[in-house]
Amino acid sequence: MKSYDFEEAARHFRHKVAFTTGTHEVLGMIDRGRDVVIVDVRMPVDWRKGHIPGAVNLPNGQWDRPRGLAKDKLNVLYCYSQTCHLAAEAAVRLLAQGYPVIEMEGGFATWEAAGYPIESAEADASPRRDVQEPARAT
């Protein structure tokens, strides 16, 4: 059996802790009002269906001209699931532009499965029920 490399394992886990976070930690950041930017890198249609409250949508194709991110704040990236690599790919591109980033492991699927709050742009775009529609001319 190959000998276990404790030094390599320690390096790996130090990096993992430094550059990834979990859904529970992100929820805590939001609840404590930490000054971070939550960045959803999924397709706009999926973002509209549901996303982490306050998340900006930055799908592939917009990574070279990001809007809504901040160079003076931590930008928390997430994609679809644990096996999705879009957030990691976006991180590489955004780091090259000087944005501090961290990846939320598990993606939106883990957030949703935990029962954490979700907001929907589709719900926000629907007509309000407490506002009366203007009368139509006949």
Domain with 89 in it: what CATH number? 3.40.250.10
Domain that holds residue 106: 36-115
Residues written for the chain: 138
What's the confidence (pLDDT) of residue 89? 98
Which residues, at least 6 apart from 87, have a Cβ–Cβ distance to it below 8 Å?
41, 77, 78, 79, 103, 104, 107
What's the confidence (pLDDT) of residue 121? 87
Q: Are 88 and 80 in contact (CB under 8 A)?
A: no
Residue at 122 is within a domain: no
Q: Which residues of the chain have pLDDT under 50?
A: 125-138
How is residue 56 written in tokens? 């900006």
Number of domains in the chain: 1
Residue at 4 is within a domain: no
Which residues, at least 6 apart from 109, have a Cβ–Cβ distance to it below 8 Å?
80, 81, 82
